[in-house]
Chain A
Amino acid sequence: METGIVSYGAYVPRYRITPEEIGKVWGVDGKAMGKGLMISSKSIPGPDEDTITISVEAARNMLKRVSIDPQDIGAIYVGSESHPYAVKPSGTIVAEAIEASPELTVADFEFACKAGTAAIQTCMGLVGSGHIKYGVAIGADTSQGAPGDPLEYSASAGGAAYLIGAEKIIARINHMYSYTTDTPDFWRREGQMYPSHGGRFTGEPAYFKHILSCAKGMLAKAGTAPKDYAHAIFHQPNGKFPTRVAKQLGFSEAQIKVGLVVPQIGNTYSGAVPIGLAAILDEAKPGDRIFAVAYGSGAGSDAFDITVTDEIKDFARDKAPTVKQLIENPKFLDYAHYAKFRGKITLGRG
């Protein structure tokens, strides 16, 4: 059965902070830091926002673009490394909010920054095998780095939701390919507020090894070459890594330009590839082929070979905000408000 994306929607919180503002507090040349990371600002969730509200916003934007009965949604998987609850799922709240309850299956996914793409794979399987009509896969995060940690300059918030189905698909997922090893480059244990990471170990043996291996495996499986794709997107923890990995694989800057949103909003973790892919779908034309590779620490990569169909012509893209529109009109915060919004200040109880 031909399966793929029936609709999509994204959400990015409006608040931003610049690397200069963060660096000022820690005695670091934030401007140079931002230049090195290719990040000019990162998004911050408001005091009332978390992974669940971001998931709901993204799912609602996704539903605005199609006229389906939410009761036809048979599964919701929310992929995140910042689920507000350790035990209770995020997905049940999303299901109630979009009126998909109660006849569906729900589970939360976690695989560092690639839980959202793992959710897409699972939905593909359930739809493809005829078990459900529609599945919703969401990648969303409100991750943060410890104060003063290099991660603080990039860890941001945002997410995107994908309606996976077999009818009226705007983008066909032709092939999926994954590459997974046990590589402890980045982790957070139960109860810890901030993640730990292996510094430069997160680069070559982690991000680059997995993305390169996964991308090469995908190209071999699909029998394609980089030149066959109109757009490409690679997990974007900063601007430097995806730009370098694209170059190593033979993709041009023009091919990765549309999906590269990290310079404006930072690293949205589980939201990174889903939001970038949404930015591409905002502009894609029928016949465009898209190459997407996610990366999650720990570590693994999921690759997708996607073809945009003729259905996109009649698809109501403008019924929900595009990624570009979501990123526009940011409100910049100083470090004090950022610290308050992110719960970095312990309040007195008395």
Chain B
Amino acid sequence: MRKVAVIGVGDTKFGELWDASFRDIGIRAGLSAVEDANISADKIDAVFVGNMSAGRFIEQEHIGALIADYSGLARDHIPATRIEAAGASGGLALRQGYMAIASGLHDIVVVGGAEKMMDVSDVASALIQSSAADQEWETELGATFPSLHALIARRHMHEFGTTREQLADVAVKNHRHGSMNPKAQFQKEITRETVTGSPMVASPLRVFDCAPSSDGAAAVVLCPLDQAKKYTETPVEIIGTGQASDTLALHHRRDILTFDATRVAAERAFKMAGVTQNDVDVAEVHDNFTISEILAVEDLGFFKKGEGGKATSDGRTSLDGDVAVNTSGGLKARGDPIGATGLAQAVEIVAQLRGKAGKRQVKDANIGLTHNVGGTGATAVVHVFRRV
């Protein structure tokens, strides 16, 4: 298998992008990644696009061809493929791109992710997002993503004594990080009281415990590591990739307080990378809810099960902590345009490992990790990156 490097990254601002269409933002992110990689379009061998539900958000399917067409690549007839795994669509697209290069099939691959969520009503958006849960056993019986995560949060509080304040501290930290990211949807710092005083969504989760809906796109350009220096001075190697699945419905799990898919995907990625959790300097994890980040930092092995909340409140996941978690602001503050999220995580880790993350730069960042989840943990994908 060939080694794979990221040679270019690009993204749009996340948020309410009223003046841009799905194809606009997809192209913007893709183009800036291609420019960053210093390649011409005719070098591109294949495109992979992560997208959860353009069919329901903007009534457009056939996203692979659309992106190839509007990127000006239709005449080159390159393969263009859409990947869907709900919230993990972007991370899975990255893995497909990785495999395409590693296998020797392609030399230059662009992997993008995009979602345009703000063109539908709040109610429609909630229903679309809920389709990532088990439609027959969860959604049709009234479960929504906030309510399923509320069950997890309640049980976590009961089992481990995780507190309301610890949940809030995840949001406070990620908003602080987001305030240093000009691409973030929310760039304002908040306090614990902002979270605990915000309207209730599903007890104990309040508005500020939830990631927003967003429009946005992100993209990376991949090539074989041994060719990377031709294009950039600062390639970043993908040293490990791991993907795992689990039962679709939360109630069928062995334990609702551990996302086994995350645990197994991380084990696989670390094994392949030849590094451990302790080597990771900076991680972008899937914090679609504050409880999700607490679960993630435990399941990825950064902290013992049950200690994620305390570790957060102790500052161990802040910029200068043991492992800097969600330096981009995470899904919580940077925004969560579903299909784009996994790629935005990669964009942030590459910026950190290149030493180009500005005010939120983690000092001497050498190893980075991305963790992208679909549904309530039925799909998880973990990538490990290293500065070259």
Partner of B19, one of A32, A198, A200, A205: A205
Q: Is the CB of B18 within 8 A of A32?
A: no
Instruction: Tell me if B121 is interfacial: C-beta within 8 Å of chain A.
Output: yes
CB within 8 Å of A: which of B176-233?
199
Instruction: Tell me if B118 is interfacial: C-beta within 8 Å of chain A.
Output: yes
Instruction: Tell me if A199 is interfacial: C-beta within 8 Å of chain B.
Output: yes
Q: Is the CB of B16 within 8 A of A204?
A: yes
Q: Is the CB of B18 within 8 A of A201?
A: yes
Closest 4 interchain pairs by CB? Answer: A205-B18, A199-B121, A199-B122, A200-B16
Instruction: Tell me if A334 is interfacial: C-beta within 8 Å of chain B.
Output: no
Bound Cα distance A198, B16 (Å)? 12
Which residues on the A side are within 8 Å of B121 (C-beta)? 198-199
Which residues on the B side are within 8 Å of A32 (C-beta)? 199
Range of interface residues on chain A?
Answer: under 10
Bound Cα distance A198, B123 (Å)? 12
Q: Which residue of B lies closest to A185 (CB)?
A: B18
Bound Cα distance A32, B122 (Å)? 20
In the complex, number of A-B residue pairs with CB atoms less than 8 Å apart: 13
Range of interface residues on chain B?
Answer: under 10
Residue from B18, B121, B122 having most chain A Cβ neighbours under 10 A: B18
Bound Cα distance A269, B199 (Å)? 28
**From DSSP, what is the main secondary structure of chain B's interface residues?**
loop
CB within 8 Å of B: which of A105-122?
none
Instruction: Tell me if A99 is interfacial: C-beta within 8 Å of chain B.
Output: no
Q: Is the CB of B199 within 8 A of A200?
A: no
Question: What is the CB-to-nearest-CB distance from B37 to chain A, in angstroms, rounded to a whole number?
Answer: 33
Instruction: Tell me if A29 is interfacial: C-beta within 8 Å of chain B.
Output: yes
Question: What is the CB-to-nearest-CB distance from A181 to chain B, in angstroms, rounded to a whole number?
Answer: 12
Question: What is the CB-to-nearest-CB distance from A200 to chain B, in angstroms, rounded to a whole number?
Answer: 6
Bound Cα distance A186, B386 (Å)? 50
Interface string of B291-310 (1 = CB under 8 A from A): 00000000000000000000
Q: Which residue of B lies closest to A200 (CB)?
A: B16
Q: Which residue of A lies closest to B200 (CB)?
A: A29
Which residues on the A side are within 8 Å of B122 (C-beta)? 199
Bound Cα distance A201, B18 (Å)? 8
Further 10 A-B residue pairs, CB within 8 A, beyond A32-B199, A200-B16, A200-B118: A29-B199, A198-B121, A199-B121, A199-B122, A201-B18, A201-B118, A204-B16, A204-B18, A205-B18, A205-B19
Interface pairs (13), CB distance under 8 Å: A29-B199, A32-B199, A198-B121, A199-B121, A199-B122, A200-B16, A200-B118, A201-B18, A201-B118, A204-B16, A204-B18, A205-B18, A205-B19
Q: Which residue of A lies closest to B197 (CB)?
A: A32
Interface string of B119-159 (1 = CB under 8 A from A): 00110000000000000000000000000000000000000
Which residues on the A side are within 8 Å of B118 (C-beta)? 200-201
Which residues on the B side are within 8 Å of A199 (C-beta)? 121-122
Bound Cα distance A301, B118 (Å)? 24
Bound Cα distance A32, B200 (Å)? 12
Q: Which residue of A lies closest to B18 (CB)?
A: A205
Bound Cα distance A200, B19 (Å)? 14
CB within 8 Å of B: which of A194-212?
198-201, 204-205
Which residues on the B side are within 8 Å of A204 (C-beta)? 16, 18
Interface string of A1-42 (1 = CB under 8 A from B): 000000000000000000000000000010010000000000
Question: What is the CB-to-nearest-CB distance from A327 to chain B, in angstroms, rounded to a whole number?
Answer: 30
Bound Cα distance A205, B18 (Å)? 7
